[in-house]
Chains A and B, each alone.
Chain A
Amino acid sequence: MTKEEYIKAAIDSMIKGDEKLAVSVMNDAIADGVDAAELLSEGFSAGIREVGDQFGRGRMFLPELMLAADAMKAVSAIVEEEISKKGGTAEKKGTMVLATVQGDVHDIGKGIVASLIKTQGVKVIDLGRDVPAADIVEKAVECGADLIGTSALLTTTMGEMKVLEELLKEKGLKNKFKTLVGGAPVTERFAKRIGADAYGEDASQAVAEVARLLS
C-alpha cells in the first residue's frame, strides 16, 4: 500500500473503533517503511478528530468514541516503541490534573476530554467533580503536573476557575502550571479575562491545546 492508502486505512480504523485493525495498519505501514509518527499524526489523529466531530453531531456515540480512544492508545504505544528503537525519544508528554470545579457535578464532557487526552500519551489524573480549587492545586503540586484542566457547565460555577487562577498566583505557582478551561458557558474571552493559558471549546480543541501547551 502507498502512504496515502495507509493514511486512509488508519482513519477508517479509528472510525470503526477497531483496535486490531488499527494495530495491524500501523505494523504493516512500519514494515513498508512508512514513518510511524507521520502516520499517527496524519492518519490516526485525523481519524479520531473525525470521530469527535461525528460524536458532536449525534452521528456516533459514546461507546464508539471510547473504542476509538482505545485503538488510538494502542497505536500511540507502537509509535513510542518505534521511536525508542531508533534511539530517539518520543515527543515530550506530560502530566495533567483534570477536574470539574467546586459546586458543579457535571462530568460527562470532562470524562470524554480525559479519554481523548490520554490517547496522546499524556498522563491524566482525573480528580472527578465538585473539586475545590485548593485540592486541585495540592494534587498538581504533589504529582508534579505540567497542566491543570478545569471544566464547568454552569454560569454559577465557572467563577471557580478564576478562584483557581488567583490561588495559583497567590501561592507563586502560576508559572509552574499551564491552565486549560472548558465547558458550555466558558468562552475564549472568559479564559483570557481570568488569565487561563488555553481554552478548549470541545474535546478535539482541548486535545490540540494540550499538545500546544506541552510542546
Chain B
Amino acid sequence: MSEFFTRLGDGAAVMMSKEDIRYDVEDGTADAADRGQIPELAKEEVDYLVEILTMPQKNVSVKRGHEGIMTFDAGTLKLPVRAGIPVDRLATLMIHERILCSDTMELCTTDYSYKSIKNFVQEEAMTMELAQNNCVMPIFYGAMPNLGQYTKPDGPIDNWSELLPMGKIAEAREAQEEAVEHAVSDMVFITGQMAEAGACGIQFDTVGASGDADVLAALMAAKELKKRFPNIGIEMGMAGEFNLGMHGQLEFEGERIAGAYPHQQVKMAEKAGVDIFGCVVNTNSNQTFAWNLARALTYAKACVAAAEIPVVVDAGMGVGGVTNTNTTPTDVTSRVSKALLEIAKVDGL
C-alpha cells in the first residue's frame, strides 16, 4: 500500500504516503518542542506513532495492560444537549456508567459557569445526591470559572476586553484582579454545597479561557478548598496548551501564570492542591491529523514526565490531536487514545 487513509485537522479525509505522514509527525513534534521548550519525541516514538497512523484497521485499540481511566468533562451535556437525546441527567450518568463504561463522570448544567450556578445550586445539590445514590462510579460536579461573566453587563466589573484596546491597561488589569475575587468566592461556595450533597470531587473546566486571571482564580479556589474540604477530589482541566496572558503579570506561588505550557501548568496545579490535571493541546485545523497528534503527544509526554499527580488528556473535538468536527471520526479518536496512552503514558482520557 503506497498511500494511507488519514485526515486533515478539520476532519477532511486525505490519502498520504508514509513518508509524508512521517514528515508531518516530525514537524509537529518539532513545533511543540520549540514552543514549549521541551524535548521532541524520541525516534522510536516517532516510528511507533507513524505505525499507529498507518495501521490498516479503521479503528485501533491499546495493547492489553495499557488501558486508561475514561472520564467526561461537560459530562451530562453530551447526550441530552449535544446529541439531543431526551434523557435527564441522572439517566445520562447511568448510561455512561453502565453502557459506555465511563470510570468517572461529571454532573453539570447547561449554564456551565460557576457564577450562573449560584442561583440554583440547591437544585444541583439535590441532583448530585440522587446521582450518588444511583451510581457506583465517582461523580464530580463541574463548570468553568468563566471570568468574563463577571464583567458588565452580566456582572459588576468593567470589561477588560474593552479597556485593553482603549489603552487602559492598568484599569484592565485591576478589573481582572477584582473578577478573580468574585470567581474564587463562587467556586468555593458551590463546592461546599456539592461536598455536602456527597460529590466525590469538583472539576474546574476550560481553565484559562478568559486568560491568566481565570487560571489564578481556579488555583486560588483549589488551594482554599483543600483547606476546607481536604477529602474532596479536585480536577483542573485547561483551555489550551499555554495560558493566554490577558493580564500578563499575575503570579501563583512566585511563578508567572501567563505563557505557562502543560508541563509548567501541572506544577502550579499541584502546588494548589489539585488531584488530577487535565492537559489540553489545541488542534490546528490547517495542519494534518499526523502533525496535530505528534504535537499533542509531545506536550502531553512532557506534562506526564513533570507531574506527580495523575494526568488526563482532553481528547475531544478540536483538542488532543482530535479533528475539529462535530462528530469526531473513530479512526481519529481511537488512534489518539492509543497514542496518548501508549506513547505519552497518560493516566486517562
A residues with a Cβ closer than 8 A to B are 57-64, 66-67, 70, 107-108, 111, 114-115, 155-156, 184-190, 201
A–B pairs, 28, beta carbons within 8 Å: A57-B35, A58-B35, A58-B244, A58-B258, A58-B259, A60-B245, A61-B244, A61-B247, A61-B248, A63-B172, A64-B245, A107-B161, A111-B161, A155-B325, A155-B326, A184-B282, A184-B324, A185-B10, A185-B285, A186-B285, A187-B8, A187-B10, A187-B286, A189-B8, A189-B10, A189-B12, A190-B10, A201-B286
A187 to B247, CA, bound (A): 29
In the complex, what residues of A have CB within 8 A of residue B211's CB?
A: 62
Query: Hey, which chain B residues are within 8 Å of A62, CB to CB?
Result: 164, 211, 244-248
Encode contact with A along B290-327: 1 for CB under 8 Å, 0 otherwise. 00000000000000000000000000011000001110
Known: A64-B248, A188-B286. A58 touches B173 (CB 8 A): no
The reply on B337 being an interface residue by CB < 8 A is no
Nearest CB to that of B243 among chain A residues? Answer: A58
Given contacts A58-B35, A62-B211, A155-B318, 11 further A-B contacts (CB under 8 A): A63-B247, A108-B244, A108-B246, A111-B161, A111-B164, A115-B165, A184-B324, A185-B324, A186-B285, A187-B10, A188-B286
Q: Which of A57, A60, A61, A190 has the most CB of B within 10 A?
A: A61
User: Which of B12, B161, B325 makes the CB contact (< 8 A) with A108?
Assistant: B161
CB distance from B321 to the nearest CB of A (A): 15
In the complex, which residues 236-261 of chain B have their Cβ closer than 8 Å to any Cβ of chain A?
Answer: 242-248, 258-261
For A58, list chain B residues within 8 Å (CB).
Answer: 35, 242-245, 258-261
Chain B residue nearest in CB terms to A186:
B285
B165 touches A114 (CB 8 A): yes
Whole-angstrom distance from the CB of A62 to the nearest CB of chain B? 5
The residues of B that contact A108 with a CB separation of less than 8 Å are 161, 244, 246
- Chain A contacts of B258 at CB under 8 A? 58, 61
Interface residue ranges of B168-195 to A (CB < 8 Å)? 169, 172-173
The 3 A-B residue pairs with the shortest CB-CB distance, nearest first, are A61-B245, A61-B248, A58-B242
Q: Would you give the shortest CB distance from B52 to chain A, in whole angstroms?
A: 24
> Would you call B167 an interface residue if the criterion is a C-beta within 8 Å of the partner chain's C-beta atoms?
yes
- Contact status of A66 and B10, CB under 8 A, knowing A58-B259, A155-B317: no
Q: Which residues of B194-247 are within 8 A (CB) of A? A: 211-212, 242-247
CA distance A185 to B261 in the complex (A): 22
For A59, give the chain B residue with the smallest CB separation: B259
> Does B286 contact A66, Cβ atoms closer than 8 Å?
no
Contacts of A201 in B (CB 8 A): 286
How far apart are the CA atoms of A56 and B344 in the complex, in Å?
A: 24
Partner of B164, one of A66, A156, A188: A66
Name the CB-closest residue of B to A201.
B286
